[in-house]
Amino acid sequence: MEQSFAGKTAVVTGAASGIGYTVAHHLAERGARIVGVDLGERVVELMAGLPGLGHHGIVRDLTDPAAAGDVFAEIVERVGTPHILVNSAGIALLDPATDVPAERWKATIDVNLSASFYMAQAAGRLMIEAGYGRIVNLASQAAVIGLDQHAAYCASKAAIVGLTHVLSLEWARRGVTVNAVSPTVVETPLGKAAWAGEKGEKAKAEIPVGRFAQPEEVAALIAFLASDAAAMITGENVLIDGGFTTV
Ligand SMILES: NC(=O)c1ccc[n+]([C@@H]2O[C@H](COP(=O)([O-])OP(=O)(O)OC[C@H]3O[C@@H](n4cnc5c(N)ncnc54)[C@H](O)[C@@H]3O)[C@@H](O)[C@H]2O)c1
């Protein structure tokens, strides 16, 4: 179903790359005003170049617990309460479990879990007040299955699903839905780096559809969950994995 996001403001984290940028572009093409947040300074130029008017980029490290409050204060001042939050900022640092250095464990949890929580919490406060909100968190197939060398990543993504469950039930009566999306490998800079070479070819062969996902396929699912039409879907973790976790 084709959605219109005219009159909606969407905050997208990790908007300077991969899924985040593709979601920002997809929603902008359908009428949304986008606020993209990323560590990378290129987010400013990329958001300014999206289709339509009124988009802007904010450069910020979202692992700073103060960042979410600052970001939403700036958004409210510039464009009012946002309607949509997509938490796509994430990292994948791979190590055998016996060798995960504490700083790489902490970095993974800080970005993938804590930053998503801080952003959802700050967004949720505003959305509850407004009586409307759509929050979509990027989890992963790694949230529901174990993957070699993914101890920190799998733990962070399983926790995102747990967080999604809690936020969804606390905010369901307030017009705010909270869902997670769990892709298999997506052909973005992160996906290509984590699944390069022979390992990637083997993984691809194990996916029933025989290929990795494209960012636009994931963006289309996120857009549906972020739309008015998805009001009855909350607390879900929607797999988009070509059947991988069913085999
Ligand atoms: N690509 C895949 O195969 C895949 C599969 C399943 C889930 N995911 C998840 O989807 C999300 C997006 O992944 P992607 O493939 O687009 O990655 P990507 O590397 O292409 O983009 C991630 C973006 O997040 C930003 N970011 C990282 N740390 C940040 C921080 N501290 N503060 C602000 N921004 C920060 C980066 O600068 C980058 O622009 C991630 O949460 C990832 O775990 C990806």
Q: pLDDT per residue over 184-237, tens digit each? A: 999 999 999 989 899 999 999 999 999 999 999 999 999 999 999 999 999 999
Compute how many other C-beta atoms are within 10 angstroms of the C-beta atom of residue 129.
11
CA 91 to chain centre: 11
With the most atoms of ligand 1 within 8 angstroms of its CB, the residue from 22, 61, 91 to mutate is 91
What Å distances lie between residue 208 and 118, 211, 213, 241, 244, CA to CA?
A: 36, 8, 12, 9, 6
**Cα torsion angle, 128, 132, 138, 144, sign:** positive
Looking at the domain assignment, is residue 196 inside a domain?
no
pLDDT one-digit tens code per residue, 76-90: 999 999 999 999 999
Question: Can you give the residue range of the structural domain that contains 226?
Answer: 9-183+216-242
Looking at the domain assignment, is residue 247 inside a domain?
no
Looking at the domain assignment, is residue 197 inside a domain?
no
Looking at the domain assignment, is residue 211 inside a domain?
no
Looking at the domain assignment, is residue 156 inside a domain?
yes
For residue 122, the one-letter residue type is A
How much is the pLDDT for 8? 98
CATH number for the domain spanning 84: value is 3.40.50.720
Query: Is 21 one of the catalytic residues?
Result: no
Using a 6 Å CB cutoff, which residues line ligand 1? 13-14, 16-20, 38-40, 61-63, 88-92, 111-112, 115, 138, 140, 183, 185-186, 188-191
Looking at the domain assignment, is residue 200 inside a domain?
no
pLDDT-flagged residues of the chain (< 70): 1
Looking at the domain assignment, is residue 2 inside a domain?
no
CB 59 within 8 A of CB 15: no
Looking at the domain assignment, is residue 46 inside a domain?
yes
Tally the domains of the chain. 1
Q: What pTM value is reported for the model?
A: 0.98
Residue 35's φ and ψ, nearest 5 degrees, are: -115, 110
Compute how many other C-beta atoms are within 10 angstroms of the C-beta atom of residue 94.
17
CB 134 within 8 A of CB 227: yes
